[in-house]
């Protein structure tokens, strides 16, 4: 029987160019030997996305004298992911692979960090395009010894943007172009290794591949900010996100909104914060709010599968319906009174 799955076509990679100098780039407290910075990408069964992303990684400018350890963490893929990784590792000596069989994005993130000794860690995703100067720009930010965590800008690929999109749709697809951040977004962030060690790593109860499904990066960002201060913003050339357009269907929007609400309850409990106010309202009130927002949105329909108002209404409804998750989480995290 002919194999119904075709591995993606894998282009030949040409590896990073060196820029002339490392002037002004001083990384304090980094070891005499070993990599200066690690770039980590976690993936699972997304070979086609990964094959389209990796050429931009291979073309990164690497400042002279900077030692880079690029790691692709395969979180138990069963598709052609290993073939895609093999192609880039043959062409780029500074790119290697780690396999983490234990499912869950947090497990994959932690495995990538554990596999390197780099004092600075940068994360991006398997469905993005990284600009050539991204690595140099992010690393330069750490020349400031008071900078411990960074959030970089992320924009959506033009092919993904729809005229009906509102802020909630864009934010749900990881777009970020702000000048301040309370936490981080997984598509473009970095931190000092000491911060990761201090907060105990990424919590394996959060993130893709878990029952909660979301929140690994969000919780981590809050934890680091509490201990190490404000999140610095890298506003240089943004990473371009190419998410699967299936994330814009009504079913996907509702499911991701639901998971986002549940993860917010768990994150609040993990941080010892009060239960989100939406969860304190009776479910009947939130049902009426959702129904009102949905009716108004349909009457003023702008072509959106689900408007921002509808998503906000559904978010509040899920909060009230799942409010018991907050108490369960407080017990799990030992933050219950």
Query: Quick one: 189 and 275 in the same domain?
Result: no
The two three-digit tokens of residue 236, written as one number:
């240089």
297 occurs within a structural domain: yes
Q: At which of 217, 246, 275 does a domain end?
A: 246
Residue 11 located in a structural domain: no
Residues 209 and 157 grouped into a single domain: yes
User: Which whole number is the average pLDDT over 212-239?
Assistant: 96
Token pair in block for residue 111: 């495995």
Q: Is the pLDDT at 86 greater than 50, yes or no?
A: yes
3-class SS string, 188-237: EEEEEHHHHHHHCCCCCCCCCCCCCCCCHHHHHHHHHHHHHCCCEEEEEE
Burial 104-138 (b: 16+ CB within 10 A, else e): bbbbbbbbbbebbebbbbbbbbbbbbbbbebbbbb
The total of structural domains in the chain comes to 2
- Render pLDDT for 124-135 as a digit per residue (tens, 0 to 9): 999 999 999 999
Q: Is residue 10 part of a domain?
A: no
pLDDT confidence of 236, banded at 50, 70, 90? very high
**Is 276 in the same domain as 240?**
no
Average pLDDT value for residue range 194-220: 94
Q: Which two tokens stand for residue 37?
A: 């910075």
Best CA proximity match to 231, nearest among 303, 142, 304: 142
200 touches 283 (CB < 8 A): no
Report whether pLDDT(63) > 60. Answer: yes
Structural domain of 175? 18-246
Structure tokens at 52: 């389209």
Which pLDDT belongs to residue 31? 41
Q: What is the pLDDT of residue 6?
A: 45
CA 91, distance to chain mean position in Å, is: 26
CA Rg value for the chain: 21
In a domain, 129, yes or no: yes
Asked if residue 223 and residue 267 are part of one domain, the reply reads: no
Q: What share of the chain is helix, strand, coil (3-state, %, to 5)?
A: 40, 15, 45
Beta partners for 123? 40, 189
Q: Which residue has the higher pLDDT, 110 or 312?
A: 110
* CATH at residue 233: 3.90.550.10
**Last residue of one domain, picked from the residues 228, 246, 264:** 246
Residue 4 lies in a domain: no
Among 246, 263, 285, give the residue marking a domain's end: 246
- Residue with the larger pLDDT of the pair 253 and 295: 253
pLDDT tier at 71, thresholds 50, 70, 90: very high
Mean pLDDT over 89-102 rounds to 92
Q: Which residues contact 328 (CB under 8 A, 6 or more apart)?
A: none
Give a yes or no: residue 72 inside a domain: yes
pTM score, two decimals? 0.90
Question: Is residue 329 domain-shared with residue 301, that is, in the same domain?
Answer: yes
């Amino acid at each position: 029987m002919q194999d119904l799955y075709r591995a993606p076509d894998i282009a030949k990679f040409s590896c990073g160019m060196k820029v002339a100098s490392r002037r002004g780039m001083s990384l304090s407290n980094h070891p005499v030997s070993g990599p200066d910075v690690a770039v980590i990408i976690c993936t699972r069964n997304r070979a086609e996305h990964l094959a389209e992303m990796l050429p931009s990684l291979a073309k990164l400018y690497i400042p002279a004298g900077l030692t880079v350890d690029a790691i692709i963490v395969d979180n138990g893929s069963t598709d052609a992911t290993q073939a895609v990784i093999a192609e880039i590792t043959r062409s780029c000596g500074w790119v290697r692979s780690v396999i983490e069989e234990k499912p869950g994005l947090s497990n994959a993130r932690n495995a990538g960090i554990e596999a390197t000794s780099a004092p600075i860690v940068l994360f991006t995703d398997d469905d993005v395009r990284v600009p050539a100067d991204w690595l140099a720009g992010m690393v330069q930010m750490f020349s400031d010894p008071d900078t411990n965590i960074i959030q970089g800008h992320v924009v959506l690929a033009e092919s993904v943007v729809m005229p009906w999109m509102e802020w909630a749709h864009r934010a749900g697809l990881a777009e970020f172009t702000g000048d301040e951040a309370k936490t981080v977004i997984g598509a473009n962030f970095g931190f000092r290794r000491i911060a990761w060690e201090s907060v105990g790593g990424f919590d394996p109860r959060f993130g893709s591949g878990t029952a909660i499904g979301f929140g690994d990066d969000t919780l981590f960002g809050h934890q680091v900010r509490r201990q190490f201060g404000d999140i610095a913003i890298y506003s240089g050339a943004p990473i371009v996100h190419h998410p699967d357009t299936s994330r814009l269907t009504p079913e996907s929007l509702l499911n991701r909104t639901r998971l986002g609400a549940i993860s917010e309850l768990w994150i609040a409990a993990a941080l010892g914060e009060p239960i989100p106010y939406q969860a304190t309202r009776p479910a009947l009130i939130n049902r009426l709010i959702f129904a009102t927002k949905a009716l108004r949105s349909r009457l003023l329909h702008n072509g959106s599968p689900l408007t921002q108002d509808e998503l906000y209404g559904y978010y509040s409804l899920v909060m009230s319906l799942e409010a018991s998750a907050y108490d369960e989480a407080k017990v799990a995290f030992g933050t219950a009174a």
